Each structure stands twice: as structure tokens, then as C-alpha cells.
């Protein structure tokens, strides 16, 4: 089965840039989506199809995907960005939705 690997945690100072990676075999050939989940809340889609933003999501959130790694980039990080972030793909070879294990973003 297809596996997505995320670092358990990433820390960044306010105003700096956070990069959260999502590794998978030839993930560059797949469409990757990212979710933000704050404590006690449901997940929210922040990037879809590798690099597009849903309406209402700040331009500070961006994404890229190539080779074996997809990346969610959060520029000018704010305290309110502190949350868990999950990547997700559709694995067409098994007809399964796959989530990464999640990354906890800490704003120092």
C-alpha cells in the first residue's frame, strides 16, 4: 500500500518560513492536498492539487510537488498557524485515500 511520510514536528519563529514535507514513492505523479487541524477542530483544506489555494486561505500558504517529495510552505508564520498539518493523496493503484501521519507545527 502507498505510504506518505511526514516529519512529526516542525518549529519556526514568528515571521519566518515553515516548510513541511510529505514523502512518497513518485509522489510527483500524484495530486497532493494539505489540511490544517487546530486542537479540538475539524481539518480544513489549505492547499489542493499540489499548489492551489481554496478561497479564503491566505496567500502565505503554498505548495509544491516533485519527485518523491511534496512540500507545504507557510510564509511569514503567525502564532495562529500553530496546528497539525496532514498531506493526502488518492492512490489509484489500490483505490484508497491515503493520509500522511501529520506534522505538528510549533511557532516559537
Contact set with another protein (CB under 8 A): 1, 31, 33, 35, 37, 42-45, 48-49, 52, 54, 84, 86, 88, 90, 95-102
Nearest approach in angstroms of CB 1 to another protein is 8
Residue 43 or 69 with smaller CB distance to another protein: 43
| CA–CA distance, 38 with 8 (Å, rounded to integer) | 15
> Which three cell numbers, joined as nine digits, stand for 23?
514523502
Residue 11 or 92 with smaller CB distance to another protein: 92
- Residue 84 CA to its chain's centroid (Å): 9
| CA–CA distance, 83 with 106 (Å, rounded to integer) | 7
Nearest approach in angstroms of CB 94 to another protein is 9
| CA-wise closest residue to 18 among 45, 32, 36 | 36
Grid cell 493520509 in the structure block, residue: 99
Nearest approach in angstroms of CB 67 to another protein is 20
Residue 16 or 52 with smaller CB distance to another protein: 52
Amino acid at each position: 500500500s502507498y505510504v506518505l511520510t511526514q516529519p512529526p514536528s516542525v518549529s519556526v519563529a514568528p515571521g519566518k518560513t515553515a516548510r513541511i514535507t510529505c514523502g512518497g514513492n513518485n509522489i510527483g505523479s500524484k495530486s497532493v492536498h494539505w489540511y490544517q487541524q487546530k486542537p479540538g477542530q475539524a481539518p480544513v483544506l489549505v492547499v489542493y492539487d499540489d499548489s492551489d489555494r481554496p478561497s479564503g486561505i491566505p496567500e502565505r500558504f503554498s505548495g509544491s510537488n516533485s519527485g518523491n517529495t511534496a512540500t507545504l510552505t507557510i510564509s511569514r508564520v503567525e502564532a495562529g498557524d500553530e496546528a497539525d498539518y496532514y498531506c493526502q493523496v488518492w492512490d489509484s493503484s489500490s483505490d484508497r485515500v491515503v493520509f500522511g501521519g501529520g506534522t505538528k507545527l510549533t511557532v516559537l
